[in-house]
Structure 1
Amino acid sequence: MTAPAGTLKLVRYGIDQLDAIRPTLVSLYAEVYAADIDKDPFFSVDRFTERLAGHASRSSWEAVVAYDGGEAAGYAYASALPERTGWWAHMLKPLAEDDVRETGERTLALFELMVRTPWRGTGLAQRIHEELLADRAEERVTLLVDPQHPKVKTLYESWGYRNIGGQQPFPDAPIYATMLRPLR
């Protein structure tokens, strides 16, 4: 089922197109997180849908979906952190004031990046990631990664991210490694 990289098409979507692609985002999430959904309510489809709605409440929200023919193979989505964001408030060890100062245009938060099993190990995740970051005006990008997945954390480090500390964004969420990378 894995296709040569040349047959894949990456499509960018803005906030005005969310309603059209929401079913694809939710369906892929349910597939990729199937093993976690029944074990932990935090990973339920309903909770994901709530988080997606919150993430997409910002006009800067964008997604990139990879298609192999007409089949969605993976996606990523992000938006800029607003001036009065709560993103940094959940750090286990507070960061310096200058590190957490937001303008609404300083930091892009990468909320989700996932690739379906048949396309894993093909470099598709990095292609989606880099396409999403291309042409963004923010100076840096941040994301959260579960330290229980060290291969994923190592992958992000190979893409230029560095771990700046742990955070727990919701009381029932795992403690995530917060990672940061310059965009320019």
Structure 2
Amino acid sequence: MTVEYSLADAEHLPYVRHGLLDVHLDVHTQSGPSDAENHFEARLQTAAAHPGWTTAIGYQAGRAVGYCHGFSLPADTDWWSNVIVPLPEYVTRESGRRTAVLSEIVVRKPWRGTGVAAQLHDIWLSLRPEERVTLLVDSTIGGGALQRVCEKWGYRSVANHRAPGDPTVYTAMIRPVHRP
């Protein structure tokens, strides 16, 4: 069976929320809905409230098998304020149309390694109007495998990033939205 893909924006979130939540709970919890559901709902609502929020979702036989989502960085963002070593202004300057943030990409286990994640990523990027996209990677995941996948997709590390109160140091990565 083939995976079919669709895109949605914040206006259509009520129609796709259940599929996103179903995938999230399948991947991130072993015991079913609980605080994980509430935490995900809060994060999803926060992300979807940002300008330019969109999601790409993969379905097989009507069941969501993976998704990715993100939004546009506003001109007054504090996104770059949590980098450990400050970056030059030409890297951190935002206009509200310069940078998209890939917030999350999640694929159910049976579909990992099949190209679904790459397809979701490419479909999500295909309609982004920004010139570049950024994401944060926990480079300890899979012994660095996740970061290597991002590098294969064209992302390059620009800084280490740590949010207040979060002990995890992430790698901030950037790539052009549309590669030559």
- Give the TM-score, by structure 1 length: 0.88
Counterpart Cα distance in 1 of 2:10 and 2:102:
15
Task: Sort the Cα spacing of 1:146 and 1:120 in 2 relative to 1 into closer, same or farther, 3 A.
Answer: same
Counterpart Cα distance in 1 of 2:108 and 2:167:
23
Counterpart Cα distance in 1 of 2:133 and 2:75:
15
Structure 1 stretch displaced more, 74-83 or 21-30: 21-30
Partner of 1:117: 109
Q: 1:146 aligns with which of 124, 138, 152?
A: 138
Q: Give, in angstroms, the shift of residue 86 of structure 1.
A: 1.5
Residue pairs, 1:40-79, within 5 angstroms = 44-79=36-71
Write the deviation string for residues 9-57 of structure 1: whole angstroms up to 9, x where unpaired: 000001100112122212211221126x9xxxxx943333222121111
Partner of 1:179: 173
Aligned-residue RMSD, C-alpha: 2.0
Q: 2:81 aligns with which of 80, 89, 92?
A: 89
Partner of 1:131: 123
Letter in 2 for 1:117: K
Counterpart Cα distance in 2 of 1:168 and 1:24:
30
1:15 partnered with 2:7: no
Partner of 1:40: none
1:166 partnered with 2:160: yes
Q: Is the 8 A contact 1:87 1:169 kept in 2?
A: no
2:136 counterpart SS class: strand
Q: Is the 8 A contact 1:76 1:110 kept in 2?
A: yes
Q: Give, in angstroms, the shift of residue 134 of structure 1.
A: 0.3
Counterpart Cα distance in 2 of 1:130 and 1:66:
12
1:136 counterpart SS class: coil
For structure 2, which runs of at least 5 residues remain unmatched after alignment?
Answer: none
Structure 1 stretch displaced more, 94-103 or 51-60: 51-60
Q: Is the 8 A contact 1:77 1:111 kept in 2?
A: yes
Counterpart Cα distance in 2 of 1:56 and 1:173:
25
Letter in 2 for 1:27: D
Partner of 2:22: 27
- Give the TM-score, by structure 2 length: 0.90
Q: Percent identity?
A: 35
Q: Give, in angstroms, the shift of residue 173 of structure 1.
A: 5.5
Structure 1 stretch displaced more, 54-63 or 119-128: 54-63
The size of the alignment, in residue pairs, is 175
For structure 1, which runs of at least 5 residues remain unmatched after alignment?
Answer: 38-42
Write the deviation string for residues 77-117 of structure 1: whole angstroms up to 9, x where unpaired: 01110111111111111111111111110000000101000
